């Protein structure tokens, strides 16, 4: 099924601003649908025939369309009021009975205009009512009818309103308040009254300005959103939160206009106390996790520094090398925690970790090696270049730590055993397909003998790959010279 933008793009006669206006309408028309408890269907002229390009169902009542009408094309003689309206005719002011999927419904068609130009036709269709409507339903229908008049005048949707809605934005079913042009409450739905009563506003609200009622219960120590007074007076199409008595109300104002003059406003209200509490908990949790990673990283760097100092005091070359290797491994784990500090979730963008592992592996190698781009300490040093090809993507922290250790061990082995005498290029190639990740660590050095590499570093890498990552680690000589170590693992998905 094509989208609204696709339908409009394929239709002649639509300007860019006209297309944006229809997109803006569809982004906010659920307000009209909920107030009128009616389905809304947007019709445009396409290839000479009316075509349904968007549909909205009400959240406050039953739908008349079980099958989505988007894409439906009217033939000559069907729905003449839509044909007439899209052909430049006048809008019908009275509703008529229509049949939708074998049932009778009440239908009204209004023009969607902007700057005096009819862009589309909006069909407003609702089930036939049985019995008498409640006072609340009558009031909501009156407010919805006002919005339809604004739609005809090109005043709705309201330009500058924040669409799409922010998290926790109120809907008609949450609570509705009607204000006059002075911000005085004319009517409030039962749900709106209940929400305000929970915040300490007692009794009937009618006849008093909403701003005055709210000021009495606002928490004085809590910063107030600068847009809140405009929202409470209904003067700006905006959203704001109001905190009182330990709770939070989310308010949205929709100014009502008539011929360009503001005549009142619709205020939608929702109790978002629990939602905001959970958001604060998540923010606190995120800050705590970041602080933990920061402290772990600092502690690991301190341990690495102590190992470095201790290695310098060692008289035995074997002891000095062992401490240096331990320092490098601790530093690698610290790299993962530093990467976790940069992200917003418990995942690591591993390509950045690989870059750091390569630098660490070369810098921690024997004194006969220097990394490309750094000063040569002695004339006998050989140069090692590093490069990363492909993409590993984001990896869970639990898997990133062992994988970073493995990459560092294999890269260090490649430098010390393959490139320390001749120099050359150390390359890491990553190939990620879904959860399947293959990483090749290659050098163009002297290559390995027939025996598989052994040693503490190799045993650590094998244990981590097979034990913690459930993958495989293999070595082979490259046909063009040098050695290739291949890590193959299947990663767990990152939870969101």
Distance between CA atoms of residues 196 and 248, nearest Å: 10
Length in residues, the chain? 496
Distance CA 204, CA 196 (A): 10
User: How far, CA to CA in Å, does 75 sit from each of 7, 36, 48, 49, 80?
Assistant: 18, 28, 10, 7, 10
CA angle, residues 109, 110, 112, in degrees to nearest 5: 135
Q: How many of the other CB atoms lie within 10 Å of CB of 372? A: 13
> How far apart are alpha carbons 168 and 316 in whole angstroms?
65
Cβ neighbours of residue 118 under 8 Å, at least 6 residues apart? 85, 86, 88, 111, 112
| Tokens read off for 436 | 């399947």
- d(C-alpha 353, C-alpha 365), whole Å: 18
Angle at 340 between CA 338 and CA 344, to 5 degrees: 140
Q: Quick check: 335 and 342 in contact, CB under 8 A? A: no
SS3 453: coil
Q: Count CB atoms within 10 A of the CB of residue 427.
A: 20
What does pTM read for this prediction? 0.61
Residues 6+ apart with CB under 8 A from 335: 353, 356, 357, 360, 404
pLDDT tens for the chain, residues 1 to 496 = 567 777 776 676 778 888 888 988 998 899 999 999 999 999 998 888 899 999 999 998 888 888 888 888 988 888 888 888 888 777 777 788 888 877 888 889 999 998 888 899 999 999 888 778 888 889 999 999 999 999 999 999 888 776 544 555 789 989 999 999 999 999 999 999 988 888 888 778 888 898 888 887 775 555 667 788 888 899 888 888 888 776 788 899 999 999 889 999 999 998 887 777 776 676 666 666 666 666 766 776 777 777 777 777 777 777 776 777 677 667 766 666 666 556 555 677 888 888 888 887 777 666 566 677 677 766 667 788 888 999 988 888 788 878 888 888 888 888 877 787 777 888 999 999 888 999 999 888 877 765 667 676 778 788 888 888 888 999 888 888 888 899 999 988 775 4
d(CA 383, CA 435): 36
CA–chain centroid gap for 194, Å, is: 32
Secondary structure class of 36 (helix, strand, coil): helix
Residue 31, H or E segment: helix 30-36
Query: Which one, of 105, 88, 91, 118, lies nearest residue 21 by Cα?
Result: 118
DSSP codes joined into one string, 343-401 = SSSSEEEHHHHHHHHHHHHHHTS-TTEEETTS--SSTTPEEEEEEEEE---EEEHHHHH
Return the number of other C-beta atoms located less than 10 Å from residue 150's C-beta. 19
Alpha-carbon Rg for the chain in angstroms: 34
Question: For residue 343, what are its two tokens?
Answer: 């992200």
**164: DSSP letter:** S
Strands 424-433 and 394-396: unpaired
């Amino acid at each position: 099924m094509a989208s609204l933008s696709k339908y409009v793009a394929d239709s002649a006669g639509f300007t860019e601003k006209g297309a944006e206006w229809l997109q803006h309408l569809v982004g906010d028309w659920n307000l009209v649908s909920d107030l009128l408890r009616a389905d809304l269907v947007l019709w445009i002229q396409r290839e000479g025939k009316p075509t349904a390009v968007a549909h909205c169902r009400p959240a406050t009542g039953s739908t008349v369309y079980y099958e989505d009408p988007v894409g439906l094309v009217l033939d000559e003689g069907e729905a003449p009021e839509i044909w007439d309206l899209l052909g430049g005719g006048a809008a019908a002011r009275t509703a008529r009975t229509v049949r939708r999927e074998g049932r009778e419904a009440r239908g009204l068609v209004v023009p969607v205009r902007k700057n005096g130009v009819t862009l589309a036709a909006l069909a407003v269709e609702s089930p036939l009512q049985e019995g008498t409507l409640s006072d609340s339903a009558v009031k909501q229908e009156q407010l919805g009818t006002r919005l339809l008049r604004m739609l005809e005048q090109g005043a709705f949707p309201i330009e500058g309103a924040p669409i799409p809605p922010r998290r926790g934005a109120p809907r008609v079913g949450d609570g509705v308040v009607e204000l006059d042009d002075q911000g005085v409450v004319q009517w409030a739905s039962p749900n709106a009254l209940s929400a305000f009563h929970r915040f300490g506003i007692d009794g009937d609200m009618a006849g008093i300005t909403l701003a005055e009622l709210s000021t009495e219960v606002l928490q004085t120590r809590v910063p107030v959103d600068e847009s809140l007074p405009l929202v409470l007076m209904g003067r700006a199409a905006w959203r704001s939160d109001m905190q009182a008595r330990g709770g939070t109300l989310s308010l949205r104002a929709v100014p009502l206009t008539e011929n360009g003059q503001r005549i009142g406003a619709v205020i939608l209200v929702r109790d978002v106390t629990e939602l905001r509490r959970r958001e604060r908990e998540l923010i606190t949790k995120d800050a705590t996790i970041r602080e933990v990673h920061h402290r772990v990283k600092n502690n690991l760097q301190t341990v690495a520094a102590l190992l470095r100092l201790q290695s310098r005091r060692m008289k035995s070359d074997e002891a000095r090398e062992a401490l240096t290797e331990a320092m490098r491994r601790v530093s690698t784990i610290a790299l993962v925690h530093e990467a976790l500090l940069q992200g917003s979730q418990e995942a690591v963008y591993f390509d950045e970790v690989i870059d750091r592992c390569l630098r660490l592996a070369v810098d921690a190698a024997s004194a006969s090696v220097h990394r490309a781009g750094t000063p040569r300490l002695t004339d006998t040093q050989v140069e090692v270049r590093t490069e990363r090809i492909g993409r590993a993507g984001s990896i869970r922290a639990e898997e990133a730590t062992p994988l970073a250790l493995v990459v560092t061990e294999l890269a260090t082995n490649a430098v010390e055993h393959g490139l320390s005498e001749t120099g050359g290029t150390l390359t890491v190639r990553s190939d990620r397909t879904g959860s399947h990740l293959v990483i090749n660590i290659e050098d163009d050095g002297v290559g390995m003998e027939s025996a598989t590499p052994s040693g503490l570093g190799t045993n650590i890498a094998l244990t981590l790959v097979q034990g913690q990552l459930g993958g495989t680690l293999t070595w082979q000589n490259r046909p063009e010279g040098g050695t290739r170590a291949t890590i193959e693992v299947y990663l767990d998905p990152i939870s969101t």
